[in-house]
Amino acid sequence: MVGAMKLKDKLQMLMTRGNLNGQKLAKLSAVSDSEISRILQGKSRPGLDNAYRLAKAVGVSLDYLADDTLDQEPAQPGGTVSSEERKALNLIQKIGLSESLAILENARFLGYEIAMSRLVGAKPVVEVEVEAAPEVRVSATSTTA
């Protein structure tokens, strides 16, 4: 078990990395600052709910934070995909890649055409700043010969 880190050490390291103190972490995680203090002193191990909240607050997996045999965050398999991205991928699979690319190219072209038509039809706006006109003084001079 060389290189293994205990939960309290991982949490302290992650707090330092995130520039967090116990109170900031308590606010982020909704775990009491007294519980965080006990965890950091090694006097307490968090329950599942609190461990999950702490892991989420410091941006690591629950596995990494809770497993004392892991000294680094396990690699995520292929990253996570949002529900919108999953829907788009499913649609691309149904339609087919070449058809999807053709649709995207047509949409890009139509978007360009619409933008250009708006620009061509737009009237330029010219703003002239009116400053106070300088005083013009007319002086009458008489010349007598």
What percentage of the chain reaches a pLDDT higher than 90?
A: 20
Q: If pLDDT is split at 50, 70 and 90, which confidence band does 37 have?
A: very high
Domain ranges of the chain: 7-66, 83-120
32-56 b/e (C-beta count within 10 Å ≥ 16 → b): eeebbeebbeeebebeeebbbbbbe
Average pLDDT over residues 111-123: 78
Start-to-end CA distance of the chain, whole Å, equals 118
pLDDT tens for 57-92 read: 988 888 888 888 877 776 656 567 777 888 888 888
CATH of the domain spanning 7-66: 1.10.260.40
Highest mean pLDDT among 5-9, 83-87, 134-138: 5-9
For 18-27, how does the pLDDT look when each residue is reduced to its tens digit (9 = 90+)? 888 989 999 9
Average pLDDT, the chain: 81
The pTM of this model reads 0.50
Cα 118–chain centre separation: 32
Give the model's pLDDT for residue 1.
46
